Chains A and B, each alone.
Chain A
Amino acid sequence: MMKMASEHRDVERQDLGEPSRFVPGVSGVQIITKEVADSRAEETSHADRKRPGRLRKKFSTRPTTRFDEAKASSKIESQEFFTQIWPKDQPRTSPVRESKKKTPKSPSTGEETDKLSLVAPSSYLTSQVVPATYVQGYEDLVMENLFIPSVLPSDSQSKVNADELRDLEDEGLFVGEKPYVSLTNLHIIENRLLQQKNKRWFLETGLLDRMDNPINDKIFHHLPADRDVDLEPLTAFIEPKFGEELQLINQEDGGMLDLEIHQLTFAHHPLFSSEHFLGAQLKDYYKTYSRRALLNVTKLLKEKLTVVREAFAKIENSEVRRSQQSRSVRDEMDIAQRRNIYQKEIRECREEYNSEAEKDRVLLMDILKVWKNIKDLRKRNKYHTTPLKLIIKKEEVNKEEEEEQRKEELRQDMAEVLREHEIAFEKDMQKYKQVLTEWKAAYKKKREAKKRQQRRKQMAIEEELEDSALHAAQDEVLLATPDEEKPVPPATIDKRKIELEVLDTFSRTRKPPGEPNILLELSESSPVTKDSNCPDGEKRRRQIVSKSRVSVKVLINRKLVTQTPLIALGNDFTLHINQSYRMGLSSFPHSLSLEIVEGSGLREAQVAVVSLPIPSKSILCNDQFSLIDFLGTQQVSCSHTGIGCGQPNSDYGSSFTRGTIWYHLSRNSEDEAETAHPAVPSSQPVELTSVVTDIEKTHSKDEDYSHIDPNDPGNCELLAHLQKSSGGTVKSGNYFELESCEGDFYSDLELDTNVRFRVLQLRDKEEPAFKNLRLIPPHESQILRKSLEAYEEQSMVGSGPVESAVPDSHLWGIDRRWENVEKLLASLRRHMQQRYMQANLAFKLEDLVQEERIPDIGTIGTSLLSIFKARRPLRPERKKRDQVRGTALGDQNVRLIVHVAQAFHVPIRHESAVASGSSSEVVQGSSTVRPFIEATFQRTILRTSIAEGPNPTWNQQLSFPFKAPNDNFSPSSLQTVTDNIYFHLYDEVIHDMLEDDRLRESTVHHRIERRWLGSLKIPFSTIYTNSKIEGTFSLEEPVVLLGYIRDSVSTVSPSRFIHNGEPNKSGTHLTIYLTLEPTLPPPEPFKAQFDSSEPEDIIIASKEWEASLSSKFSQRLFRTHVLDLSGKLVSMNRFIRPLKPPVELISENASETLQKVAWYVSLIPSLADMTLFPGACDIWANSEQFLTMLTGDEEEHAVLLTNFFLYLGKTAFLLVGSGIPEGQTCYVVTLEDNGSWTLWNPSTAKSFSAQESFSPLKAVYLLINEENIWANVQKYDDPPRVNFDVKGSGWRSFFSRSVPDPGLPSVQPARINFQSVDSSQIEQLKDHLEVVLRDAIMKWRSVQRTSWNRHAIKVLRKLISGLDDARAAGKSATPDISQLASVMASHKVCGVCIHQGYSNLANVVEAVHSTGVHLTQAPNVEFALAVYVKSYPAYVISVWVYVASLVKRQ
C-alpha cells in the first residue's frame, strides 16, 4: 500500500518524460547519446536514399507488407541501442560520417538535443558537415567536456536529507527485490543524477527509485509516432474461451450422470420440538461464530489500524520538521496527498473494525441469548430433546490495564473523529461561503429588480418608454423565479456530541473493561432425556419422529428416475443417505431436481423440491460436496410438542420446513472411467475437507523454511489460499490448485510395507528368489506372500545366529541337519553373488561389440594352412557351430540333442532263470537281450527303438525341448539349471499272454515288461559348460541284477578285466553324443581381478607360467590358483595336506583301507560348482568346509581323498584333467608298490590302472601335491600314454629356483573332527525311508493294487545288509543268491538294488522311480522293498535300496 505512493510518482514522471523508458543501470549512458544520434541519422538516411524512384510508388500503392514490418523492426533495433552493448572495436563511426555528408540536416529531434545538452555542448554532437580531419587534442577536448561519473558509491547524505532517511523495512513495509543491476552501474548512474542535482530520482531510503520489474506487461509496437494516430489495430486479440455453451448445444447424448446424495439435514421441520428449533438456531450461530473465530478479522483489522496510525503519525512528525525548511510545491502536494490517503485509510479501517467488532458482539450476545432460552426451555419442560451443550470458557483479564487501554483508544478515536469532523466542517464551510456569496448576489439582483419595477410602476403613469419595456420583462422574469432559501451555515462541531457518539460506538463494539474474554464451544454431549421420563406430548412427538421416513427422489426432465431408500428421521434430523447413482442419459438433461418426500405409498407427502444445476460435461471431478438448501411450502400444525411449520402466529413454527442437502454431481461421457469419489466432509462445524487440510499442511511446512513474507504481493495468492483453507470461505482465484490426490507419492514407509513394492524392490536387487519373476500383479492383494515370507525368514536366518529350526513332525534329525546345510549354502551363495556382482556388471568392449581381432602370425598361418587341409578328412571332426546369442534365444526353440550310438557289454538274460521259467511265456527274439535306451530330461521321456544283443547299436537321435527357468536364456539364469539327463538302459521282455494256441495265427496278445539294466546321469550344467559331450560312458548298474549275467565272450573291450587281482569291473558302456541346438552362450568366466592373500610376485609368476604353457598346449588347461570360499585366490598346492581319515575306516589291510577311504569319500554327494555358485566357477572348499557342507564338486572329493591317501603313507597326487562326463575334473593318482600308477575316481570310489583304455579320464593336465604343481608338457595327455613320474622330463613345475615356494601354510586344518552319528537316528531314517518308498511306489501304481510280499522283504533285508561292508572293502558286492533260492523257486523275481550316498529323501525316491520296477503290469504281482542304511562318521551315509517285483510261478 505504501509502495503505491512512490510508484505513482514514477509513472507520473514518465508521462512527461521522453518516449523511451528509463532503463536503469545501463552503463555509459552519456556515451550512448552520441550513438543514438548516429543511428537515427543512419536510419533516416537509409530511408532517404530509397525514397525516390519506383520503389516509392510501390510503397504507396501496396498494402502493408513484410517489408514494412522489417522497417518497423529496424526501428526497434534503433531502440535497442539503449540496451545493447556494442563491441568496442566495431567501427561504427564511418557510416555515420557518410550519412552526415549526404543528409546535411539530421533529423535529430529537439528532445534529443536537449538530452545531449545535458552532458556536452551541442556544437559537438549535433550533426554538421564536418570534414574528416584529424583534430589535434580531440580526446582531451572530449575529456574536458564530458562528465565521467565516478564508480564509487555516492554518499547517502547528498541524496536525501539525513532526517528524512527512512528504513521502510524497519517500519514493517514490504520492500521487494529490485532487479539485479551491478553495483558499479548503479553507482555511475547515481553519481550522474547527483551531478544533475536531480534528487527526485531518490527515495527516502536513499536508494535509486527503480521499477520493480523492467518488463512491461503490455505489448506495444515501436511504430513511428505519426503512424500511431490514424492506424487501426491490425488484429483484434480474441482471448481463447472455453466453449462450454458450444459443447452443451452440440451435445447429442446426455452422457453419464453421477449423482451422489450424501446427507440431508433439516434446519427446520414440523416435528422439531421447541428445543430443536432453538438448537438449530444455536448451531447456525455457532457455525458463524467459529468461522469468524478462525478468520479473526477483528484482530487483523485492529492490527492494521495500529500500523496505519503509526505511519500517519510519522508523516505528521516529519511534516512538522519539514515545515521549518523550504519546500518545493511538488513536495507539499505530495505530502498533502499522502496525508489524505492515510486519513481515508484510517477512517475506513476504523469503521470496518467497528462494524466487525459490533458483529462479533452481537453474535456473542445472540448465542448467549439462544443458549439461555434453551436452558430456560429445558428447565421449564424438565426434559431434554437435544444433546446440545454450550461450553462457555471465561478468560479473566486485568481490569485496570484494560481500562487504561480503553481510555487511550478512546482518546485516539475521539481525536481522529474530531479531526475528521473539522475537515468536513472546513469543507462545508467553504462550500457554504461560496454558496452564500452566490445567494447574496442573486438576492441583491432581485432586490434591485424589485426596486426597479416599483419605480417603473410609479413612472408608468408618467411616461412610456420603449426600451424600458425590455428591462421590465427581464425584471419580471427575475422576480418570477422563486426566492432561493438562504443557505444555512454548517453546524458547528459539537464536541460533546461527537464524544458521545464515539462513546456509544465503543459501548456497542468493545466489551466493557474487566469483562472476561469469552470462548464458546458447542458440543453434543448433553444426554437426551429418555422417552419414559417425558410428558405425553413429547412422547408422541418422538414416536412420530421415529416413525416418519424420508426419501429423496431424483427427477430428470421432470421424470422420476430413481429414489433413495426410506430413511428414518433421527433425533438430530440428519439423514445420512450416502447413495450414489449413475445414470446414462439418452438426451441432454434440461432439468434435474430432487424431491424430498416423507412417508411412502399413499401417505407420501412432498416436503420440498429443489432443482440442481446441471453440471457441464467438462468438469469431471469436483471432489467436494456441493450444498443446496431447500424450502418447503406446506403448513403443518401438530397436536404434540412438535412446533409445526408455516404458522404465522406460532412462536417457533413460523418458518417453513427447510434444510440442506449435501450432494455431488458430475457428468461425463460414457467411455470415461468412474469419477473419483468425493471426499467426505468432516463432521466438524467448519467443513474442512481432508484435502484442504493436507494442502495446508504442506504449505505450512513450506512456510516454515521459506518464511513467506505476507506483505509481498507475490505471495498474495498463496496467503489467500491459506486463508481459504483455514477459513473455509470459498473464493476461486485465477491460479491452479492441486486439489485431488493425483500427485501424491508413496512415502518410504508405505513403500516398505506394501507387499508389491517390496517384491519389486527385491527383484530389482536381484535376490535369487525374486530375480526372474515376471508379470508381478498390479494389485497388492494378488501377490503371493509366501515367497516373500520365506525370503524374510531366510534373510533373518542369514543375518542372525542360526536358530534351532521349529521341530517339524516330518523332519528327521538328519534331514534337519540337511536343511541347515542348505541354508548355509544359500547364504554362502548370496555372499558370493554380492561379492562378484560388481565384477559381473562391468562390461568390456568384447562383451558388447563383435569385431575381428587384430591378426597375428598365428592366425594368418592357420588360415593359410586351412587351404591345404584335406577336403574330406578320414577322421572328420565336428564343425564348431556359431553360438547363438541374445535375440534368437527368445524363440525358446532351444533343444537338447542326444545321439545314442551304441552300448557295449550289456548283460544278457540268465539262462537258468529263463530256463526255469516257462520259456513259452517269453517271446524270445533271436538274441538273449533286447535292450533300449530311455532318456529323460525335464519331464520329457523319449526312447530309442530296440536293438538286439549284448552289443547293440541304435544310432538314434533324440531331441528334447529345453525350458530355461522363467524363459530367461541369459547365462546367469542358465547356470542355475539343476536338471539332469537320465539315460536308462532297459531290457524289453515280451510275455506272450495268448492262452489258446489256436488263435496264434490271428491274434497277438503280449505283455511288455522292461527290466532295468543300468543308467547314466549327466547334469545339464556339464553340457552347458562344455557345449557338447561326446564319448563312451560306463553305466551305473544295479548292484545285483537278478536273472542276468554278463556274457564274457561277447565283450569287445580289450581283455584287461583282471587287474591286480581285482574283479572284473568292466561294466556296460554307452556311447552317446549330447549337445544343445542352438549352442547357448557359455557362462562367462570372471574377468575381474580377484584379491589374493598370496604374494604379488607369485600371482604374476603364475600368470606368466600359465601363459607360456597354454601357448604351447592350447588344448590343455593350466592353472595354479583357485578361489576359496571367501573368494580369494589360493595356490592349489595349499589345499593338499595329509589328513587323518576317520578311525573306523582304518583296518589292517592297507589296500582295504584305501578302498574304504575312497568309498567313504565317494559317499559324499556331488553338486557342480556352477549350480552351487552361479557365475563363479572353480571355487574350492577346504576339506573341513566340504565335510560341513556335505556336498561338493569333484575337486573337493579329490582333495579330500588325496589328503587321506597322503596320511596313509601313499604317494598320491591330485590330478587335474579332463574326463567324461564332467569335462574338467579332478582325479587322484597313487603310486602302487609295483611301480604302476592307479587312478581313483573320487566320486565313484572306482580305481583303475592308468593303462585302462576305457577309463573315464581322457586327459591329464596337472599334478599337484603338497609342495608343488606340475604341468604336463608331454606330447600326449591321455592317461595310458602319460608318464606320471613328476621327476621326469615330461613335467614342468611351478615352484622352482626362480619362483620359490613362499611357504604359506595350508588352508586345510591340521585335523578334522569327525562327528559320530547317533545310531538311533540312523534307525529312524531307515524306517522312515522304507515307509516313504513304499508309499511312493503305491502312489505311482495308483491304478493297480500294490501288495507286498513279506517273506521276500525279509530275505531281501538279510541280503542287503551284507552288501555295504563288502563293497566298502572293494570286493564285488555280489549277494548270495542262494538265499533267494527259496523265493525264486516259487516266484519269478525281477529286482534291482541301488546304492547312494544319502543327501536327501527326494533323491532316493527319484532313484527308485528311475528303476521302473513299479511299472510292471503283470497280474498278481507282488513287491518287495528293503532299505539298508549304513552311517559313517560326519554324517556320511550310505543308503541301499533293494526293490523287486515277484510274480508267482504257476
Chain B
Amino acid sequence: MSITAPSVFMVNVTGQVDSGRFMEGDNLYFNYCFTSGPDWEVVGGLEECVSQMSRRSDDERQIFIWNFPLDITFKSTNPHGWPQLVLSVYGNDIFGNDTIIGYTACHLPITPGIHKRRLTTFVPESASTIQKLMAWLTGRRPEFVDPKLIACGKGREVTRVRSHGEITVSFNVVMKDLEKLGYNSTGPSRNSSHFPLTQSVKDPVPSGSGLAVRSED
C-alpha cells in the first residue's frame, strides 16, 4: 500500500512580477534572483533574470507594468531556508546613469495556491550628506554589495534604508510530497469549504428589500 517514501519534496512556483509604483524614473527594469538555504536546489527554471524596461504608464495610475513571468522549481529536504525572491529595480536618473531604485525580497508562499504579494521596496541611504551630493552628481547611488543580502538578516543593523515604492507579485504555488515528509502545508484556503456560509450570513441585507418601514412621528 505504501509507496516508497520520497526523499525530497518539490515546490513549483509560477507567477509574475505584475507591476510597480515608483516615484522616480520613467524607464525601469528589475532583476530578480532566488536565495535558498543549503538544503534547497533548483530543479528547473531561471534562477536569475533581468526584465525588460518598462515605461511609466500615461494614465493617472502612473505605474510600471512588467508582467514578467517567474517559473522555478525547487527541490529540498528541509524547509529551513525556504526560498526567497529578491528583486532589485533599476532605472535611469536625469543624467542617464543606471541607478538603483529599490530592493525588496519575500519568501515564496508556503501554502499551495494563488497568492498575491505587495512588496514595498527600499534603497540604502548615503552615509553622509556629502556622499549624497556626490552620489547625485556622479549618478552612483549607494547599492548593496550583493542584492541577496536583503534576504538575510545578518549585518543589516549597520545599513540605513529609505522606502521607495512598491511592487506587486503574484505567485501560483504547487507542492509535491511535502506532506509525505511530515510537513503540513495546508493553509486556511483548503479548509475554507468547511464554513461556506459564514460569509453570506454576515452580508448586510440589501436596502430596499421590502422590509417594514417604520413610521416617524
Closest approach, in angstroms, between the C-beta of A1250 and any C-beta of chain B? 43
User: Provided the pairs A227-B214, A582-B1, A845-B158 are in contact, do residues A852 and B135 lie with their beta carbons within 8 angstroms?
Assistant: yes
Please state if B38 and A778 are interface contacts (CB–CB under 8 Å): no
Q: Is A915 an interface residue (CB 8 A)?
A: no
CB distance from B50 to the nearest CB of A (A): 11
Q: Is the CB of A763 within 8 A of B127?
A: no
The A920-938 residues at the B interface (CB cut-off 8 A) are none
Query: In the bound complex, what is the Cα–Cα distance between A1061 and B10 (angstroms)?
Result: 74
* Closest CB in chain A relative to B72 CB, distance in Å: 13
Query: What residues of chain A lie closer than 8 Å to B213, measured between beta carbons?
Result: 60-64
Q: Which of B124, B130, B147, B216 contacts A854 (CB 8 A)?
A: B130
Q: Is B159 an interface residue (CB 8 A)?
A: yes
Contact with A along B172-212 (1 / 0, CB 8 A): 00000001110010000000001111100100010111111
Residues 51-86 of A at the B interface (beta carbon under 8 Å): 51, 56, 59-66, 68
Give every chain A residue within 8 A of B135 (Cβ-Cβ). Answer: 851-852
Known A63-B208, A887-B33: A774·B5 in contact at CB below 8 Å: no
Please tell me if the beta carbons of A59 and B216 are within 8 angstroms of each other in the complex. Answer: yes
CB distance from A722 to the nearest CB of B (A): 28
Q: Which of B104-149 contact A (CB under 8 A)?
A: 124, 126-128, 130-131, 134-135, 138, 140-149
B8 at the interface (CB under 8 A from A): yes
| Residues in B neighbouring A582, C-beta threshold 8 A | 1
A887, B78: Cβ atoms closer than 8 Å: no
Residue A874 CB within 8 A of the other chain? no
Which residues of A have CB within 8 Å of B61?
none
- By the criterion CB–CB under 8 Å, are A886 and B147 in contact? yes
From known contacts A231-B212, A231-B214, A855-B134, infer whether A850 and B207 are also in contact, taking CB-CB under 8 Å: no
Q: Is the CB of A851 within 8 A of B131?
A: yes
B residues less than 8 Å from A68 (CB atoms) = 214
Set of chain B residues within 8 Å of A243, measured between Cβ atoms: 196
List residues of B (30-57) whose CB comes within 8 Å of A's CBs: 33, 38-41, 47-48
In the complex the two chains form, is B197's CB within 8 Å of A852's CB? no
B residues within 8 A CB of A215? Answer: none
Q: Which of B7, B33, B214 contacts A777 (CB 8 A)?
A: B7
Contacts of A580 in B (CB 8 A): 1
Cβ of B144 and Cβ of A775 under 8 Å apart?
A: no
Contacts A241-B197, A774-B39 hold; do A848 and B158 have CB atoms under 8 A apart?
Answer: yes
B154: which A residues are within 8 A, CB to CB? 841, 843
- Interface centre among A61, A742, A775, by most B CB within 10 Å? A775
Q: In this complex, which of B2, B127, B143 has the most chain A Cβ atoms within 10 angstroms of its Cβ?
A: B127
A849 touches B207 (CB 8 A): no
Q: Decide yes or no whether B156 CB sits under 8 A from chain A.
A: yes
In the complex with contacts A234-B205, A674-B1, A845-B127 CB distance below 8 A: yes
A242 at interface, CB cutoff 8 A? yes
B124: A residues at CB distance < 8 A? 848-849, 851
Q: Which of B1, B131, B147, B209 contacts A852 (CB 8 A)?
A: B131
Evaluate contact between A775 and B8: CB separation under 8 angstroms.
yes
Given the interface pairs A778-B7, A778-B8, the reply to whether A849 lies near B143 with Cβ below 8 Å is yes
Q: Mark each residue of chain A from 772 to 799: 1 if its CB lies under 8 Å from any CB of chain B, else 0.
A: 1111111100100000000000000000
Nearest CB of chain A from residue B164's CB, rounded to whole Å: 15
CB neighbours of B134 from chain A (8 A): 852, 854-855
Q: Out of A231, A241, A773, A854, which one reaches B128, CB within 8 Å?
A: A854
Nearest opposing residue in chain A for B33, CB measure = A887
The residue from A51, A242, A850 contacting B143, defined by CB atoms under 8 A apart: A850
Q: Which residues of B contact A674 (CB under 8 A)?
A: 1-2
Tell whether A238 is near chain B: CB-to-CB under 8 Å.
Answer: yes
Nearest Cβ distance between residue B151 and chain A, in whole angstroms? 11
Query: Is chain B's binding surface mostly helix, strand, loop or mixed?
Result: loop
Whether A673 contacts B179 in the complex (CB less than 8 A), given A582-B1, A887-B48, comes out as yes
Once bound together, how far apart are the Cα atoms of A1249 and B2, in whole Å?
Answer: 79
Given contacts A673-B179, A845-B127, A887-B148, contact A65 B38 (CB under 8 A): no
Give chain B residues whose Cβ lies under 8 Å from the Cβ of A1366. Answer: none
Q: Which residues of B contact A292 (CB under 8 A)?
A: none
Q: Tell whether A1210 is near chain B: CB-to-CB under 8 Å.
A: no
Contact present for A849 and B198 (CB under 8 Å) = no
Q: What's the minimum C-beta distance from A756 to chain B, rounded to whole angstroms?
A: 9
Determine whether the beta carbon of B144 is less than 8 Å from that of A850: yes
Interface pair B212/A849, CB less than 8 Å apart: no
Number of residue pairs spanning A and B whose beta carbons lie under 8 angstroms apart = 149
Do B197 and A64 touch (CB < 8 A)? Answer: no
Question: Which residues between 879 and 905 of chain A lie within 8 Å of chain B, taking CB atoms?
Answer: 885-887, 890-891
Given contacts A582-B1, A887-B48, contact A848 B144 (CB under 8 A): yes
Q: Does A232 contact B (CB under 8 A)?
A: yes
> B201: which of A64, A240, A854, A855 is its contact (CB, 8 Å)?
A240
Interface residue A235 (Cβ < 8 Å from any Cβ of B): yes
What's the nearest-Cβ distance from chain B to residue A1157, in Å? 48
A847 within 8 A of B: yes
In contact, A776 and B158 (Cβ under 8 angstroms): no
Question: How many whole Å from B35's CB to the nearest CB in chain A?
Answer: 9
Q: How far is the CA of A782 from the CA of B141 in the complex (A)?
A: 49
Assuming the A-B contacts A243-B196, A673-B179, are A775 and B47 also in contact, with contact meaning beta carbons closer than 8 angstroms in the complex?
no
For chain A, residues 1177 to 1191, give those with C-beta under 8 angstroms from any C-beta of chain B. none
Distance in angstroms between the alpha carbons of A773 and B198 in the assembled complex: 49
* CB of A844 closer than 8 Å to a CB of B: yes
Asked if B155 CB lies within 8 Å of chain A CBs, one says yes
Q: Which residue of B lies closest to A243 (CB)?
A: B196
- Does residue B77 face the partner (Cβ distance < 8 Å to A)? yes
Asked if A705 is at the interface (CB within 8 A of a chain B CB), the reply is no
Selected from A56, A847, A853, the residue in CB contact (under 8 A) with B216 is A56
Q: Are B148 and A850 in contact (CB under 8 A)?
A: no
A851 CA to B131 CA, complexed, in Å: 8
Q: Are B1 and A887 in contact (CB under 8 A)?
A: no
The residue of chain A having its C-beta at the shortest distance from the C-beta of B9 within the complex is A778
State whether A238 touches B127 (Cβ < 8 A): no
Q: Which chain A residues in 1354-1377 approach chain B with CB under 8 Å?
A: none
Q: Is B99 close to A, CB under 8 A?
A: no
CB contact between B78 and one of A64, A231, A778, A849 (< 8 Å): that residue: A778
Q: How far is the CA of A760 from the CA of B79 in the complex (A)?
A: 12
The minimal Cβ–Cβ distance linking A1081 to chain B, given in whole angstroms, is 9
Min CB distance, A846 to chain B, in Å?
8
Give the chain A neighbours of B207 by CB distance below 8 A: 63-66
Q: Contact: A848 with B156, CB < 8 Å?
A: yes
A778-B8, A843-B155, A887-B48 given; A849·B216 CB < 8 A: no
Report A64 CB to chain B, min CB distance, Å: 6
Contact: B146 with A775, CB < 8 Å?
no
Task: Determine the chain B residues whose CB is within 8 A of the CB of A65 once the complex forms.
Answer: 207
Q: Is the CB of B48 within 8 A of A778?
A: no
Q: Is B76 an interface residue (CB 8 A)?
A: yes
- Note all chain A residues with C-beta closer than 8 A to B5: 779
A237 sits at the interface (CB 8 A): yes
- When each residue 846-867 of chain A gets 1 if its CB lies under 8 Å from chain B and 0 otherwise, what string results? 0111111111000000000000
Cα A180 to Cα B52 in complex, Å, equals: 63
Q: Which residue of B lies closest to A68 (CB)?
A: B214
Which of A66, A775, A849, A850 has a CB less than 8 Å from the CB of B39? Answer: A775
Closest to A236 in B: B201
Whether the Cβ atoms of A849 and B147 lie closer than 8 Å is: no
Partner among A235, A778, A843, A887 whose Cβ is within 8 Å of the Cβ of B147: A887
Closest residue of chain A to B6 (Cβ to Cβ) is A778
Q: Identify 18 residue pairs between A and B in the complex whose beta-carbon atoms are under 8 Å apart, listed by A's number.
A: A61-B213, A63-B207, A64-B214, A66-B207, A234-B205, A234-B211, A235-B205, A240-B195, A240-B196, A241-B197, A242-B194, A775-B77, A776-B39, A845-B158, A849-B143, A849-B145, A887-B147, A890-B47
| 8 closest A-B pairs by CB | A843-B155, A886-B146, A851-B142, A778-B77, A59-B216, A240-B197, A849-B124, A845-B158
Q: Given known contacts A61-B213, A674-B1, what 16 new A-B pairs fall within 8 Å (CB)?
A: A51-B216, A238-B197, A240-B197, A240-B198, A763-B38, A773-B38, A776-B38, A776-B77, A778-B77, A848-B156, A848-B159, A849-B145, A850-B145, A851-B135, A852-B140, A886-B147
